[in-house]
Amino acid sequence: MKTFLLPDLAEGLAEAEINEWHVQVGDVVKIDQLLVSVETAKAVVEVPSPYRGKILRLYGKKGDMIATGKPLVDFELLGDNLVADTGTVVGTVEIGNEIIQPHSSHVHSALETRVNYKATPAIRALAKKLGVDLSRVTATGPNQTITIQDIERSTELTQPDFEPLRGVRRQMVLSMQKSHAEVVPVTIFDDVDITDWVKKDYTARLLLALCYACQQEPALNAWYSDKQVARRVFTEVHIGVAMDTQEGLFVPVIKQAHEKNSEQFRQDLESFKVKVQARTITPQEMSGATIMLSNFGKFAGRYASPIVVPPIVAILAVGKIRETLKLNINSQPKVHQVMPLSLTFDHRAVTGGEATRFLGQLMWALEKPQ
């Protein structure tokens, strides 16, 4: 028997949700034949078979979460299999207070049902009493150990009034938790007068202004490493653009934005919109951002405190454009268009001076007529 483990489908990915199985137990499959579609990193990814053989077991059903590196499919190999062996488990497997040392590269099926969680005997007993499947519980204790609070949250979610968050929304939960735990956010606000704009492609103008500000004050076009207490400042500008859908928030990344013009930005944005709606956008197209843009003002709201998602250190949010009266040089009132800006930065990596200089350069670029 050969066990195929769920591979890392994107850099650092912790888990994936089963979207649809394309095979059944007993099927004979070929190398590269599609096994399963999984939803992860805000994209649907197809996982092909690494072996030729007969399907003995499928781990999980539609909607189940599978951790990266955990069993996905058991095979009975048939004939030649030249693909590299990715279906092994090595080292120690820690379960609760016990350490199990596999005697070979394959974990016996009796153990495979126990390696999905870590819990003390008392927690196991409580879960059994409440009818909770520990392999479906999200662990928040030390070293990813399941706690009593985790069990309580799990039982709450089984009530009819609660809807478990899946796919894109679950990924958003994890990202927001990470941000809340790590980032030291500060937000500054200002308004920019855009009355003299000739063209009204607001997003393209914002992208151009962001690139200019990043070149003038690159400290905000950076990543921060919490573990190393170090930052990486980029000369290239890769802008993540938040796109709202009914299923959740997608953030495709415009790569090498500093080399593009308005027309190229518009082409990229339209392409991303089509891919997001069709759920064909790839994890690679949503990774590598060095700074982010959120244009929430097309719905409502003037100012916000946007969330910085590590490892990036800054995000610009743009509110709803409004009209206001200003006096001209002859003290005559004139209607002006004003765009509200909210810039959140991680104060661990960015100083207040760097952030305000960045915002000043951004506003200067936006106030230009063309």
pLDDT in tens, 166-188: 777 877 887 888 888 889 999 99
Share of the chain above pLDDT 70, in %: 84
Judgement on whether residues 198 and 269 belong to the same structural domain of the protein: yes
Judgement on whether residues 73 and 129 belong to the same structural domain of the protein: no
pTM value is 0.63
In a domain? residue 181? yes
Give tens-digit pLDDT for 40-93: 765 777 888 888 999 999 999 988 888 888 899 999 998 766 444 433 333 333
Judgement on whether residues 357 and 270 belong to the same structural domain of the protein: yes
pLDDT at position 31 is 86
Judgement on whether residues 218 and 322 belong to the same structural domain of the protein: yes
Q: Could you give the CA distance from residue 209 to residue 359 in angstroms, rounded to a whole number? A: 10
Task: Write the CATH number for 35.
Answer: 2.40.50.100
C-beta separation of 314 from 308 below 8 A? yes
Given a cut of 50, whether residue 223 has pLDDT beyond it is yes
**DSSP 3-state of 213:** helix
Task: Write the CATH number for 129.
Answer: 4.10.320.10
Judgement on whether residues 16 and 45 belong to the same structural domain of the protein: yes
Given a cut of 70, whether residue 133 has pLDDT beyond it is yes
Residue 311 phi/psi, 5-degree rounding, is -90, 0
Closest C-alpha among 50, 57, 47 to residue 27? 57
Q: What angle do CA 104, 109, 110 make, to 5 degrees?
A: 105
pLDDT at position 274 is 93
Judgement on whether residues 180 and 157 belong to the same structural domain of the protein: no
Q: Which two tokens stand for residue 91?
A: 């080292």
pLDDT band for position 347 (50/70/90)? very high
In a domain? residue 170? no
Judgement on whether residues 320 and 229 belong to the same structural domain of the protein: yes
Judgement on whether residues 84 and 219 belong to the same structural domain of the protein: no
In a domain? residue 169? no
In a domain? residue 182? yes
Judgement on whether residues 87 and 208 belong to the same structural domain of the protein: no
The total of structural domains in the chain comes to 3
- Output the CA torsion 148→149→150→155 (10° steps): 90
Domain, as residue range, for 155: 118-164
Give tens-digit pLDDT for 112-129: 333 456 777 667 767 777
In a domain? residue 280? yes
Judgement on whether residues 182 and 261 belong to the same structural domain of the protein: yes
Given a cut of 90, whether residue 222 has pLDDT beyond it is yes
β-pairing verdict for 239-241 and 291-294 = parallel
Judgement on whether residues 98 and 245 belong to the same structural domain of the protein: no
Judgement on whether residues 242 and 133 belong to the same structural domain of the protein: no
Using the 3D structure, point to which of 116, 135, 154 is the last residue of a domain: 116
Given a cut of 50, whether residue 296 has pLDDT beyond it is yes
Give tens-digit pLDDT for 349-364: 999 999 999 999 999 9
Residue with tokens 């690679």: 284
pLDDT at position 115 is 40
In a domain? residue 211? yes
What value does the mean pLDDT of the chain take?
82
Helix (H) and strand (E) counts in the chain: 7, 21
- Output the CA torsion 18→19→23→29 (10° steps): -80
